[in-house]
């Protein structure tokens, strides 16, 4: 089984460069289908979820030319299939974006129920409710979602209020509404940086989206979108993960190619934990020499503390003096990583939406298993700070969302390797 092997206890020092955002790529790459021609997307992270998205695009008939260094030219002129294959679509969460874009451009689409990390219930009723409000018919049979608009019609603009703040449904309906007839207003919309990035991409391709980053997004539908070029926003969560790694292991790490305002909420929590943070135009520097202090956090949609940083900060809390409390308000099953960290000597308990962590001065190396993407990141962070050697298996979860995490960590002084055995059970 492939695994990370980490020898802990080394301080981290130096510079790390952040890649484009996974969750922006997740919607923008399917979004290229809205364009009946060619476009170029830059700063694409080299992660397995992106490879899967390229595979789906190619299966549908798109031509994808990836240069291996973050830039892809995608030509969706020749789309010939409107059905995402079960084998590919069920392996990732973001496959549901193909429903919105195929429906908007061709009036019809099918995709398996989305997969992705197991974080508890992950319904997509808000996506489907939005498609229906725009005149689509929706059915689910044999784990397949089918959507269509009656022959000869297009999606129609609608006024849609989400029952909860949802990143995925906000993005899916922004995509679909860009080629709808008339205006769509999305209320109670999510405000994450990748929502603003999706609007930037759509507008760069000739769409008319306003209000992204506020709780009301307005999309005036167009007949067609033209091609163009777009560069993805830096990954807020990848940056936050290296901030947490530096905080846990100690040392001084400059995290480059970021938008510091996207990281404010993470910086604020780390400062409370006795971590020094300085900022430049496109970097943040994280420095920690004294003992970490406990803190309390509640995860919230942006601009609140991101749920996708909760496990990584949880790992830092395992080393902080005092009792920290985490309230997780987005995903019900996001504390399982604490069971693995307890193998390293961490003291934590959880129930319902709350976890309580009593920090230890030291953790010790252990064998762990990544149970999802950010859980795996949390285990890596704890292992970097621990005495002795740790092994983390199920690394496929981590490779889903972090570009070259071993190379980037080794570049700032970590002792981390991937041992590939050729035998997979992931």
Site residues for ligand EPU per CB under 6 A: 23, 26, 93-94, 117, 119, 121-127, 164, 166-169, 190, 307-308, 330, 373-374, 401
- Sign, CA dihedral 157-163-165-169, equals negative
Compare residues 122 and 293 and give the one whose CB is closer to ligand EPU. Answer: 122
Nearer to ligand EPU, 164 or 419 (CB): 164
Is the CB of 43 or the CB of 166 nearer to ligand EPU?
Answer: 166
CA angle 13, 18, 23 (to 5 degrees): 140
| Other CB atoms within 10 Å distance of the CB of residue 274 | 17
Q: How many residues does the chain have?
A: 426
* Rounded least distance, CB 64 to ligand EPU, Å: 19
Taking the CA atoms of residue 331, residue 258, residue 370 and residue 382 in that order, the dihedral angle to the nearest 10 degrees is -110
The separation between the first and the last C-alpha atoms of the chain, rounded to the nearest angstrom, is 8
Coil, helix or strand at residue 26:
helix
User: In 3-state terms, what secondary structure has residue 417?
Assistant: strand
Of 227 and 310, the one with the shorter C-beta distance to ligand EPU is: 310
- Residue 209 Cβ, how far from ligand EPU at the closest point, in Å? 18
Q: Is the dihedral of CA 39, 69, 240, 122 positive or negative?
A: positive
Q: In angstroms, what is the minimal distance from the CB of 71 to ligand EPU?
A: 21
Q: Which residue, 50 or 207, is less far from ligand EPU as judged by CB?
A: 50
Tokens for 20, please give them.
Answer: 């484009």
CB 189 within 8 A of CB 161: no
Q: Which is nearer to ligand EPU, 207 or 371 (CB)?
A: 371
Catalytic residue among 76, 117, 222, 371: 117
Cβ 320 to ligand EPU shortest distance, Å: 23
Neighbours of 71 (CB within 10 A): 15
Backbone angles phi, psi at 364, to 5 degrees: -120, 155
* Shortest CB 152 distance to ligand EPU, Å: 29
> Is 393 designated active site?
no
CB of 122 to ligand EPU, least distance (A): 5
411 contacts 348 by C-beta, under 8 angstroms:
no
Residue with the shortest CB distance to ligand EPU: 168
What is the Cα–Cα distance from 319 to 174, expressed in whole angstroms?
42
* C-beta closer to ligand EPU: residue 124 or 341: 124
Whole-number Å distance between alpha carbons of 257 and 283:
6
Place of tokens 């759509």: 202
Secondary-structure percent of the chain, ordered helix, strand, coil, rounded to 5? 35, 30, 40
The nearest distance, CB 386 to ligand EPU, in angstroms, is 23
The CB density around residue 97, as the number of other CB atoms within 10 Å, is 29
- By beta-carbon proximity to ligand EPU, the closer residue of 288 and 394 is 394
Give the nearest distance from C-beta 401 to ligand EPU in angstroms. Answer: 6
The β-bridge partners of 321 are 293
Look at residues 45, 211, 179 and name the one whose alpha carbon lies nearest to residue 103.
Answer: 179
Give the angle subtended at the CA of 70 by the CAs of 65 and 75, to the nearest 5°. Answer: 30
Q: Tell me the β-bridge partners of 187.
A: 161, 216
- Residues catalogued as catalytic: 117
């Amino acid at each position: 089984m492939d695994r990370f092997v980490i020898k802990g206890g080394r301080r981290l020092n130096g510079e790390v460069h952040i890649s484009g955002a996974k969750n922006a790529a997740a919607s923008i790459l399917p979004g290229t289908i809205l364009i009946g021609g060619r476009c170029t997307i830059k700063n694409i992270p080299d992660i397995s979820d992106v490879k899967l998205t390229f595979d789906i695009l190619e299966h549908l008939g798109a031509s994808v030319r990836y240069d291996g260094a973050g830039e892809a030219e995608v030509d969706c002129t020749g789309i010939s299939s409107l059905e995402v294959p079960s084998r590919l679509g069920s392996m990732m969460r973001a496959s549901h974006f193909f429903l919105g874009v195929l429906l908007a451009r061709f009036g019809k689409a099918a995709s398996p129920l989305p997969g992705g990390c197991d974080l508890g219930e992950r319904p997509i009723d808000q996506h489907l409710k939005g498609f229906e409000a725009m005149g689509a018919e929706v059915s689910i049979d044999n784990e397949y979602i089918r959507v269509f608009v009656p022959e000869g019609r297009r999606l129609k603009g609608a006024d849609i209020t989400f029952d909860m703040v949802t990143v995925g449904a906000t993005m899916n309906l922004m995509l679909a509404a860009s080629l709808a007839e008339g205006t769509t207003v999305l209320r109670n919309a999510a405000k994450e940086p990748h929502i603003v990035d999706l609007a930037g991409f759509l507008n760069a391709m000739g769409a008319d989206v306003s209000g992204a980053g506020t709780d009301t997004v307005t999309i005036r539908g167009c007949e067609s979108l033209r091609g163009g070029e777009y560069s993805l926003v830096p990954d807020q969560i990848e940056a936050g993960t290296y901030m947490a790694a530096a905080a846990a292991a100690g040392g001084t790490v400059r995290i480059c190619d970021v938008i510091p305002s996207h990281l404010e909420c993470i910086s604020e929590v780390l400062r409370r934990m006795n971590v020094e943070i300085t900022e430049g135009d496109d970097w943040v520097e994280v420095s920690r020499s004294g003992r970490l202090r406990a803190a309390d956090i509640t995860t919230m949609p942006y601009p609140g503390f991101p749920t996708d940083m909760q496990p990584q900060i949880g790992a830092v809390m395992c080393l902080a003096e005092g009792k920290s409390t985490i309230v997780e308000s987005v995903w019900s099953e996001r504390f399982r990583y604490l069971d693995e960290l307890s193998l390293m000597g961490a003291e934590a308990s959880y129930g319902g939406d709350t976890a309580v962590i009593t920090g230890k001065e030291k953790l010790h190396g252990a064998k762990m298993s990544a149970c999802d993407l950010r859980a795996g990141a949390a285990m890596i962070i704890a292992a970097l700070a621990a005495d002795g050697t740790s092994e983390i298996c199920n690394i496929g979860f981590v490779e889903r969302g972090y570009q070259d995490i071993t190379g980037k960590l080794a570049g700032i002084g970590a002792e981390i390797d991937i041992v590939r055995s050729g035998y997979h059970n992931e």
